[in-house]
Chains A and B, each alone.
Chain A
């Protein structure tokens, strides 16, 4: 597992990824082996079917949306860099990163970027607003069949009402951030990546 990965992943690539995402060397190698094992076509990129082949994702209510986030705008394939870039959002925030100076671009796993990731799960048309319909879609995906459309509709209304401050009946990213300001997003949206 380890040896195969390292022969295919050059060290300078690892360094680049490390700089961009902040993962450690061993984490990158491990994730690379996972990447290659998912890559059944063995062409160095993953397509959507490779993701869909993961059984647990199929029965995850938000599985499709998650898969979508890996693929940048309009593309069908994601290479390892892109894969790591998306995964980097879930890296736990290190303490020493919290006080970086604002001139450096925000690391991928900052709180803001994590929230942006979550926001994009809802916002498919990428207009930086979660409309009522988009919210309803996600709600419906997360909820069983016992809730009727009406109930769900009123829940969605209530959600928007709570969050909406500028009165446009949709949730913008700023409003989204505001609503979740007390939630420990750093912890909720982080995974302990194995070494």
Chain B
């Protein structure tokens, strides 16, 4: 490992050298060393010694032509390599957030460049930052934002972002103005307006920095969404205040009309941004409705429309961040319904990639420009800026939280408030805004320096110390003494129960609005924006995505089915006599449990900056549910009734399923292996040869997914039209229930998931189970009713499963 890192370091150094050399070549040489034509004097360093006569130039260099793309590429590579390098040293990344390391590297490179008397690279301007570097990050944030959580906390987020930023800016501005009045510091020439402007610049919490740090702190969801949402949405008020104060600062007098206009400006900016975001979001959703034949272009639409929203908002000086975030939020829901699976993956991966690159570059450049820009240092001003930033933020959070706690279902504890206050990091936006100040601005350099100082302070000091502080606060709260294994298990069970009941009761205050929105959504929006209107829910889409995306992943990871617990084996275990457990064993058990038990889903952070959303846990749960249901079904022997065969009989339209179904029937009777059951019903799409390996019966015909969908037809021929889904079988309860023959309702046959034809895993089938919850079209008739249903089935064959209407290429590999 040591040699590897040295290798990387040398690579980095090599790149730096090349970069500097390249820049110096561009800056230094007036002439461009193009061809080595003999007419010109021999050019330094680049060419071979000038030939004596005119030979064909075999080797020539034309640096200026490629200079800009070359430098950009080198910067990106350098920053990314640095990022790789950090992860080699695990010990560092535990303590120091990545952004700090990136800034450090930037500082180093900046130092090198400065010492070589180079200018800051031409690529780094505020325009570049605002137009190219910031949008991917914000788009990524908006796209992956947990919408439910966000809307639940909408009021809080808006409260903190609007009122909080106002509080901070005005507070800092006025206090700094007060400081300026003190003659000893020599900064009396800064008037109130300028101070207010600076206060606005410095008080914006930066989403990039917040994300970078919070990511690693494992903070709870509520807190995360509030701080993060605040950082995104304070853009509106920042833009408004910035333009207001900038305008005012260039005038000598402030009239009340200006304040009024400023307020109006805020609303225009905020709502304008949101409107544009919504507009482009809907247009994008609408466009994707028609992209069935141009699948490759789907990601393009997503990105371009979002970027367009951003740019148009910038055009009108509206809040571009809000525009792009709103666009992403709006678009995501509909687009993910319309586009193909691959496009979906592509979009997600590209977003993550671009945002990672952007973030890396931003911090990197922050370091570089710190060194290379002109500074003016004033101890008093900068020191007091720092102090006031901290003080006002702390006060602001405290006061605002007290007020908003009255309206929240989950109030903020003091610990939460502290985390929020401490997590208000400033970052590159702050810096760019300072840079944006016109050069004619008096004391511009002082502001820039102060901004950089605050950024470096917050990112480094607060970023590094936030994790230990939060751990300390956490540790103080939990009481580990009582933790016997029993307590741990039962507590966790209770927590899951509570979470479930809360969800069941719809325990959010905004449920009413969500319901309303859902109605509007289903009635109008879906018809327009989604092709082949399918009454689906988020769970169904989640199901589809999981199933299609993770089929192979599950295959790879610890053998999927074999890794899943086999409850049959559990049942067959003889009760062992109680052994005595050593304390170490007990302790290791506790560790094992605490690491592996699923966290209550409200408490874990589902959005992660550096990776795609983690759906592992859902997959596991569903996989498990499916496997237990399958086994319970066979234990119950419910498939061997003749009604079962009838149940699987074909709709009149599709003939070629017949052989498959016969095979299925025969496979049901003999096997004791859950895999076979699953496999027999699985229709692997032909394009996935790997899945065929898991199919144990070579006789199984591979049918296109369409047929599988059509088999669902039969399922729906239950004219009673009440969905009967056997979920009790989950967790193996069906085994005990069915074997004891209790209750009429409990004996239900769970038909294999056949809808999508892409199963190779039990877990995938579970996704269908999720479907059932939302879609009444999936009918799983109870065994008791199958005979009835079978009779009715012949008559009722017109009902088509809505899934059948889904275009098949949805499931194209």
Answer yes or no: B593 CB below 8 A from chain A CBs.
Answer: yes
CA distance A152 to B596 in the complex (A): 11
A52 touches B601 (CB 8 A): no
Evaluate whether A74 and B743 lie within 8 angstroms (CB atoms) in the complex, with A47-B722, A118-B490, A160-B578 already known.
yes
Which among B71-79, B108-116, B340-348, B730-738 touches the partner chain? B730-738
Interface residues on B, range: 35 or more
Complex: how many Å from CA A179 to CA B490? 10
Main secondary structure of the interface of A (DSSP, over half): helix
Cα(A56)–Cα(B618), bound, Å? 10
Find out whether the CB atom of A75 lies under 8 angstroms from the CB atom of B745: yes
Interface positions, chain B 564-597, Cβ under 8 Å from A, are 564-567, 569-571, 573, 575-576, 578-581, 585-586, 589, 592-593, 596-597
Residues of A within 8 A of B444 (CB): none
A90 CB contact (under 8 Å) in B490, B496, B501: B501
Contact B745 A74 (CB under 8 A): yes
Q: Are A143 and B744 in contact (CB under 8 A)?
A: no
Within 8 A of A (CB), among B218-270: none
Docked pose: A184 CA to B484 CA in angstroms? 14
Complex Cα gap A10–B617 (Å): 43
Separation of A90 and B495 alpha carbons in the complex (Å): 12
How many whole Å from A171's CB to the nearest CB in chain B?
A: 8
How far apart sit A48 and B726, CA to CA, in the bound complex (Å)?
Answer: 9
Alpha-carbon distance A153/B576, docked complex (angstroms): 10
Within the assembled complex, what's the spacing in Å between the Cα atoms of A51 and B393?
A: 44
Determine the residue in chain A with the shortest Cβ distance to B743.
Answer: A74
> In the complex, which residues of chain A have a beta carbon less than 8 angstroms from the beta carbon of B586?
158
Known: A60-B500, A149-B569, A182-B482. A140 touches B624 (CB 8 A): yes
Q: Decide if B86 is an interface residue (CB 8 Å cutoff).
A: no
In the assembly, what is the distance between CA of A6 and CA of B247, in Å? Answer: 56
Quick one: which of A34, A62, A142 contacts B505, CB cutoff 8 A? Answer: A34
Residue of B nearest to A170 (CB): B575
Q: Known contacts A52-B772, A147-B592; is A132 also within 8 Å of B498 by CB? A: no
Scoring A residues 117 to 154 as 1 if CB is less than 8 Å from chain B, else 0, what string do you get?
Answer: 11001101100000011101111111111110101111
* Contact assessment for A52 and B725 in the assembled complex, using a CB-CB cutoff below 8 Å: yes
Cβ-neighbour of B598 out of A53, A142, A191 (below 8 A)? A142
Are A142 and B772 in touch, CB under 8 angstroms? Answer: no
| Cβ proximity bits B757-788 to A, threshold 8 Å, 1 near / 0 not | 00000000000011011101000000000000
Interface residue from A34, A124, A142 paired with B597 (Cβ < 8 Å): A142
- Given A48-B728, A87-B501; A163-B622 close (CB under 8 Å): no
B505 touches A58 (CB 8 A): no
Assess A189 versus B490: contact at CB under 8 Å? Given A58-B539, A64-B727: no
> Which listed residue (A54, A149, A159, A176) contacts B504, Cβ 8 A?
A54
Instruction: Please indicate which of the listed interface residues A73, A134, A138 has the most CB atoms of chain B within 10 Å of its own CB.
Output: A138
Contact A155 B724 (CB under 8 A): no
Asked if A169 and B773 sit within 8 Å, CB to CB, the answer is no
- Inter-chain contact B773/A189, CB cutoff 8 Å: no
A102 interface hit (Cβ, 8 Å):
no
Q: What is the bound-complex CA distance between A195 and B345, given in angstroms?
A: 42
Residues of A contacting B537 with CB < 8 Å? 55
Chain B: minimal CB distance from A64 (Å): 4
The answer to whether A191 and B505 touch across the interface, beta carbons within 8 angstroms, is yes
Interface membership of A41, Cβ < 8 A? yes
A25 in the interface, Cβ–Cβ < 8 Å?
Answer: no
Establish whether residues A56 and B731, one from each chain, have CB atoms under 8 Å apart when the complex forms. Answer: no
In whole angstroms, what is the CA distance A68 to B733 when docked?
Answer: 10
Q: Contact check: which of A37, A41, A154 meets B589 at CB < 8 Å?
A: A154
Does B578 lie within 8 Å of A157, measured CB to CB? yes
Q: CB of A66 within 8 A of chain B?
A: yes
Q: Is A185 at the interface (CB under 8 A from chain B)? A: yes
Task: List the A residue with the shortest CB-CB distance to B557.
Answer: A145
B3–chain A nearest beta-carbon distance, Å: 33
| 8 Å CB interface, B470-510 against A | 482, 484-487, 489-507, 509
- B625 close to chain A: CB less than 8 A: yes
Residue of A whose beta carbon sits closest to that of B492: A142
Interface class of chain B by DSSP = helix
From known contacts A140-B624, A143-B597, infer whether A159 and B485 are also in contact, taking CB-CB under 8 Å: yes
Expressed in whole angstroms, the Cα–Cα distance for A71 and B742 within the complex equals: 13
Asked whether any CB of chain A lies closer than 8 Å to the CB of B85, the reply is: no
> In the complex, are the beta carbons of B570 and A149 less than 8 A apart?
yes
Q: How far is the CA of A85 from the CA of B573 in the complex (A)?
A: 38
> By the criterion CB–CB under 8 Å, are A59 and B593 in contact?
no
**Chain B positions within 8 Å of A82 at CB level:** none
Question: CB-CB < 8 A to B746: which residues of A?
Answer: 74
Q: Kindly state whether residue B645 has any CB partner on chain A within 8 Å.
A: no
Q: Is A174 an interface residue (CB 8 A)?
A: no
CB closest chain-A residue, reference B775:
A53
Residue of A nearest to B616 (CB): A144
Set of chain B residues within 8 Å of A31, measured between Cβ atoms: 505
Across the interface, do A118 and B503 meet the contact criterion of CB distance under 8 Å?
no
Contacts of A107 in B (CB 8 A): none
Q: Is the CB of B496 within 8 A of A194?
A: no
Query: Are A132 and B491 CB-contacts (below 8 A) given A124-B736, A145-B558?
Result: no
- Tell yes or no: A161 within 8 A of B by CB: yes
- Set of chain B residues within 8 Å of A47, measured between Cβ atoms: 722-723
- At the interface, yes or no: A96 with Cβ under 8 Å from chain B? no
Q: How far is the CB of A119 from chain B (nearest CB, A)?
A: 9
Task: Tell me if B736 and A162 are in contact (CB < 8 A).
Answer: no
A146 near B596 with CB under 8 A, answer: yes
Q: Does A40 contact B (CB under 8 A)?
A: yes
A9: interface (CB < 8 Å) = no
Interface: A15 (CB within 8 A): no
Query: Would A139 and B727 count as touching, CB distance under 8 A?
Result: no
Contacts of A153 in B (CB 8 A): 570, 573, 576
Report the bound CA distance from A57 to B487 in whole Å. Answer: 23
Known contacts A87-B501, A162-B485; A49 and B743 CB within 8 A of each other = no
- Interface contact B558-A76, CB-CB below 8 Å: no
Contacts of A49 in B (CB 8 A): 722-725, 772-773, 776
The distance from the CB of A40 to the nearest CB of chain B, in whole angstroms, is 7
- A180 CB contacts on chain B under 8 angstroms: 486-487, 490
B59 within 8 A of partner (CB): no
Residues B570 and A133 in contact, CB atoms below 8 Å apart:
yes
Taking the complex as formed, is B620 at the interface, i.e. its CB lies under 8 A from any CB of chain A? yes
Contact of B502 among A146, A149, A191 (CB under 8 A): A191
| Interface pairs (24), CB distance under 8 Å | A34-B506, A47-B723, A49-B772, A53-B773, A54-B503, A55-B542, A58-B622, A59-B617, A60-B503, A61-B621, A62-B497, A65-B731, A74-B744, A137-B732, A140-B731, A143-B593, A144-B597, A145-B565, A152-B565, A153-B570, A159-B486, A160-B578, A162-B484, A176-B490
Would you list the 4 A-B pairs with minimal beta carbon distance, nearest first?
A: A56-B503, A76-B745, A74-B743, A55-B539
16 additional A-B residue pairs with CB within 8 Å, beyond A58-B770, A149-B566, A194-B507 = A47-B723, A49-B772, A55-B538, A55-B770, A60-B500, A62-B500, A87-B501, A118-B497, A138-B489, A140-B624, A143-B593, A152-B565, A183-B482, A190-B498, A191-B502, A193-B505
